Structure 1
């Protein structure tokens, strides 16, 4: 049985069969016993109440005995232990059924005298009715109060109940199958839809989603499926972007390396100067290719959550100046003036030096890429034990409709950095480093006037 619907219907059927079985067991095994026990309890309570009245209120005793006979068909008889009848209820109407004088003998009498009470069944001589009889010996040990109650034919009642229970059992089995079928269709409908969406997702349809119709566990599962599908869709888009970017970005330096290597071998083999220039280009493109591979590996580690931080106390002013020095030649080639400005000569912060060096590399490289004949300033400002670092440039700026996407992986502003070999993941790596350090960061930009990338770090006093 593989289908949940069949299991659900079978479960409903088993519950019904178990319930009916318990009813059958109770009816055939315990009903008669419980019936007899209830008769005993009724007689005992009635006899105890009458005994109390006989000892305290004799007038009320007769009234209550007659009332008990009329309302509950319980006959009462007061007699001596030798069988002499002192009172018998119901005789005035010719319906007397008391049997005390007939049972007060033999083993029954011995039991009564020994324990103070006795119980037996007897047959009414005139009415041929089986009676259940209970006797209680009074404190004087000479007087006995006996009550009797007809035992109604219970076998016929049991047979009637059996027939009725059989009919009810058949009805319950049919109803349980119908209810199980209804609920299986009702509950399994969202599961079937979810299963269809899972199959569609497995077949490559990344846009498939499930309508969340309920707020129960199935609805929660549907919502989680939609979240998973959304994440898989993003991963799929990133994968496609990665393949497209890697194929494009790596093809360019590889093509240049191969082209200049062939030129050095076939064309400029006898021209040392040209061969030297070709080799410089090959080295430059190899370094560029290596940087791109390193960035992609960094991005892969970040995505897998394996970015380790080795934090130490460093002078961020010295690190900023060191980074500027590395880019001075590149800046001179584009007629850019680089500078570091701060209110103090040093600012000590607790960060991962290698990662923060990578931040300055990415932000300065990005600023130089988009600046021509301008200025790039690193400004350090302290305010309330927080150091704000601004990397400001006078470059082309960022279009307003793209400023929210610059931190995304493989995003390129108007494809501008394709021409200079950017991989489109530098700012994404920078963002991950900031988040790993729990550093507040952001960007402000005006198209045509430049950009200001900033971040804030607590200062170690």
Structure 2
């Protein structure tokens, strides 16, 4: 009873067995009622008809004369036993022509004298044979003088009914066996896919994320198999992403740490006597430390997104101020890399309700990517468009662009695609999440070899706070 298959078979089997037993009982009752009802009705009809005949045409005869009259007029084809009884139940004469000293005290005799007819189904007192008996009163000048009793043996009826019941029981047994076999088939059809799912889940638990469950039927279990396969596919993707992330972050951490350690050892061995070399080493250590801090901050932001702990500190401000800050911040980098950097800030205010630090983080990340993938001689441009309810900021570059195969997954966590540039693969994912938290929209258009355009759409606030 521990397995689903065993419980299904037993439960289905018991239900069907109870149904068969109930139907067998009803069938036996119906056959018994039909056979005995027909026999009793026939016997009553013949008994009443013949008694009325005798009382009508031999009404002036005494009981003994009536007995002889009855014996003379009984049909030779009559198979029932006919007896003429005195009022005290003594048998005066039977259809075989015998006069016995037997006294019949069955209820049908007394009932016939009291109500006009009596019926008895039971055992004969002397022979213990099961019989059906019908008694009717014999009259003389309007008074009861005796009883005319018809009786037949019920044994053939019981035998016939029992024989039919045995046939029915045999059919019922076949039905029960068939039902158990059918329940076994149904149980296997239900349990088989579940066992397949269990095996697939066991394989997955051991780390085999390529395993898949077979969808055998288009039902709830089939839907469960599809869901399981979808889950396995997603877990496989996440596992691959995790491995890529660990590899990427390990590389990203190792590179600055190697530089820091190398320059630290160089400065220590040099004794800090060469000022120019010392400043160069300290500058490299500072830049690599900033890279480490940025990577750690991205990981912390990702952790906050995962746990739902990231909170925005929203203020009403002019978006132009943030754009001006990032323009100043990236002007030097544009000059160093020989990239044309143009920030087109509109003259009209751009009132928005945002977290200023997070909004600056978004544009710094987008511009950092733009400069990272734009070679010298290229250009990076920031422009704005507004309507009555929204402002759209576009960050365009003339860099390498994004390959079509990478575009669908470019904003996935830890995904770096075919790029060889340093990074954790979290920047665009964090930007997208932050923009959605600001109830904005984030979109990327790119053509490989031509460049990329990233648009950030934010709702406009009603007005700026007065100065």
TM value normalised by structure 2: 0.71
Q: Is 2:457 aligned against 1:456?
A: yes
CA distance in 1, matches of 2:34, 2:286: 108
Deviation at 1:130?
1.9
Aligned equivalent of 2:384: 380
Larger Rg: 2
Does the residue aligned with 1:417 lie in a helix, a strand or coil? Answer: coil
The residue matched to 1:327 in structure 2 has which SS? helix
Q: Give the gaps of 5 or more residues in structure 1.
A: 44-67, 136-147
2:241 is the counterpart of 1:238: yes
Q: What residue is the counterpart of 1:53 in the other structure?
A: none
8 Å Cα contact 1:410-1:423 kept in structure 2: yes
Deviation at 1:320, TM superposition (A): 1.9
> What does residue range 164-203 of structure 1 map to in structure 2 within 5 Å?
164-168=167-171, 170-203=173-206
Matching residue of 1:369: 372
Q: CA RMSD for the aligned pairs?
A: 4.5
Tell me the distance in 1 between the aligned counterparts of 2:337 and 2:302.
29
Tell me if 1:289 matches 2:292.
yes
Q: Equivalent residue for 2:15? A: 15
Determine if contact 2:82/2:151 at 8 Å carries over to the other structure: no
Structure 1 length-normalised TM: 0.72
Provide the rounded CA distance (Å) in 1 between the counterparts of 2:4 and 2:164: 36
Distance (Å, rounded) in 2 between the aligned partners of 1:225 and 1:133? 79
Matches within 5 A, 1:70-85: 76=48, 85=55
Is it true that 1:258 corresponds to 2:257 in the alignment? Answer: no
Partners of 1:341 and 1:134 lie apart in 2 by 124
Shift of 1:221: 1.2
255-264 or 331-340, larger mean C-alpha shift: 331-340
Q: For the structure 1 residues 401 and 225, does the alpha-carbon distance in structure 2 shift closer, same or farther, using more than 3 Å as the test?
A: closer
Residue 396 of structure 2 corresponds to which residue in structure 1? 392
Contact kept, 8 Å, 1:76 with 1:98, in 2: the verdict is no
Structure 2 counterpart of 1:439: 440
1:269-284 matched pairs, under 5 angstroms: 269-284=272-287
Counterpart position of 1:325: 328
CA separation of 1:326 and 1:133: change in aligned 2, threshold 3 A:
farther
Q: Which residue of the partner structure matches residue 218 of structure 2?
A: 215
Please report how far the alpha carbon of residue 443 of structure 1 lies from its aligned counterpart in structure 2 after TM superposition: 2.3
SS in 2 for 1:460: coil
1:208, 1:300 → 2: CA distance? Answer: 30
Residue matched to 1:423: 424
Is the 1:349–1:459 Cα contact (8 Å) retained in structure 2?
yes
Deviation of residue 13 (structure 1)? Answer: 3.6
Change (3 A) 1:87 1:190: farther
Please, which moves more after superposition, 183-192 or 423-432? 183-192
3-state DSSP of counterpart to 2:401: coil
The CA deviation string for residues 183-226 of structure 1, in whole angstroms up to 9 with x for no partner, is 33333332333233222222222222123221112101111110
What is aligned with 1:145? none
C-alpha deviation, 1:236, in angstroms? 0.7
SS of the residue aligned with 1:262? helix
Task: Identify the range of structure 1 (277-286 vs 220-229) with the bigger mean alpha-carbon deviation.
Answer: 277-286
Q: Matches of 1:174 and 1:37 in 2, distance apart?
A: 30
Pair 1:18–1:133, CA change in 2 (3 A): farther
Change (3 A) 1:406 1:170: closer
Alignment counterpart, residue 348 of structure 1, candidates 344, 348, 351: 351
Structure-to-structure mapping, 1:99-178, within 5 angstroms: 120-121=119-120, 130-131=132-133, 153=155, 155-161=158-164, 163-168=166-171, 170-178=173-181
1:61 equivalent in structure 2: none
Deviations 1:372-401 (A, max 9, x none): 344433211113422221112233433455
Structure 1, residues 248-304: CA drift from partner, whole Å, max 9, x if none? 111001111111221222223344553343233223212210110111232233345
